[in-house]
Amino acid sequence: MKLINKLNVLTAYEWIEENIVSVDFENWNGGRVGNLIPNGYTHYCKIMNSTFYRDQSIQDETLFWSQLHPLHEIEMDLGEGITLKELATKYDISYDNKISSKAIAKKLGGCPRYLIYPDEGCINLDVLKEITKVLAPFTKNKTCYFFYHILKLIGRIPEDDVENGHLYTGKLNDIFTIYNKGEMDGLASPTYWWPEDRSWCLSTDYDLDFTIFGGSKQLFDVLMSNDKLECIEVDLETRIDEYDYIVFILK
């Protein structure tokens, strides 16, 4: 019995489009949290999609990914996880609400080869499990929605089934059905997911290696105090485009 249901219309998703700030490319002043997450929540934070990992096969920390030959065969020996905060300390980068992994390349002039970066647009499964544990007491048995933007569907499902995006309903833990296998053969992280009462919302943009959360102070405090998650407090005006070239989902 499948618990996940695919909705034929996107009506339940429309509240998000109505409550985010549209991107004005003609009067560009930077990408903001408010361009991706609905306003109206009291607290916001960004959650790194995973830690960084050290490639133990690389000893030279001054080597950049850009210095590798395009046909160079990549082999990795993953070592310990490293938080963005630890890297900010190591490289004397300000650890403020605007920080992202792109700050490392900006400071050093390139991305160090010894670092394996968090995935863009996809929450690491271990991080997803931890986030879901935090959400569970606040969500209980409520129906949840999982929306996939068209840009997350391309290449994962037949082109004639992409439409304008996909919207699914189920219980909170049904996110793992979608993420791992499910009828969609694994779509990883939704672009947006939220409960029916809209008491929280998470946005994992396809072009960012962190996820944005909006919700209550109580839930925010639990996320921020979780030592298995790297959460950074932000607000709706916090910039999220380190180099001003983030490509946003067009609403």
Regarding whether 138 and 86 lie in a shared domain, the answer is no
Regarding whether 175 and 144 lie in a shared domain, the answer is yes
In which domain, by residue range, is 17 found?
5-48+121-234
Assess if residue 80 is contained within a domain: yes
End-to-end CA distance of the chain: 34
CA 150/CA 134 separation, integer angstroms: 28
Assess if residue 240 is contained within a domain: no
Tell me how many domains the chain contains: 2
Q: Are strands 166-170 and 192-195 parallel, antiparallel or unpaired?
A: unpaired
Regarding whether 126 and 43 lie in a shared domain, the answer is yes
pLDDT on residue 6 = 84
Asked if pLDDT for residue 151 goes beyond 80, the answer is no
pTM for the full predicted model = 0.88
Regarding whether 158 and 74 lie in a shared domain, the answer is no
- What is the average pLDDT across 213-229? 98
Centroid of chain to Cα 206: 7
Regarding whether 198 and 75 lie in a shared domain, the answer is no
Regarding whether 168 and 145 lie in a shared domain, the answer is yes
pLDDT on residue 239 = 92
Regarding whether 181 and 131 lie in a shared domain, the answer is yes
Question: Which residues in 137-167 are b (16+ Cβ under 10 Å) and which e?
Answer: ebbeeeebbbbbbebbbeeebeeeebeebbb
Q: Show the tokens assigned to 151.
A: 């840009």
Taking only the tens place, the pLDDT of each residue in 38-96 is 999 999 999 999 999 999 999 999 999 888 877 667 777 888 999 999 999 999 999 99
123 CB contacts (<8 Å, ≥6 apart)? Answer: 47, 49, 50, 131, 188, 189, 204, 211
Asked if pLDDT for residue 190 goes beyond 70, the answer is yes
- 183: confidence class by pLDDT, cuts 50, 70, 90: very low
Assess if residue 137 is contained within a domain: yes
Asked if pLDDT for residue 191 goes beyond 60, the answer is yes
- 242: confidence class by pLDDT, cuts 50, 70, 90: low
Residue 112: burial class (beta carbons within 10 Å; 0-12, 13-18, 19+): buried
- What is the average pLDDT across 197-207? 95
Regarding whether 151 and 32 lie in a shared domain, the answer is yes
Q: Domain boundary residue among 116, 147, 166?
A: 116
pLDDT on residue 24 = 77
The whole-chain average pLDDT of the chain stands at 87
Taking only the tens place, the pLDDT of each residue in 103-141 is 999 999 999 999 999 998 899 999 999 999 999 999 999
Residue scoring higher pLDDT (27 or 238): 238
Q: Domain boundary residue among 116, 143, 158?
A: 116
Instruction: State whether the Cα torsion 33-150-198-189 is positive or negative.
Output: negative
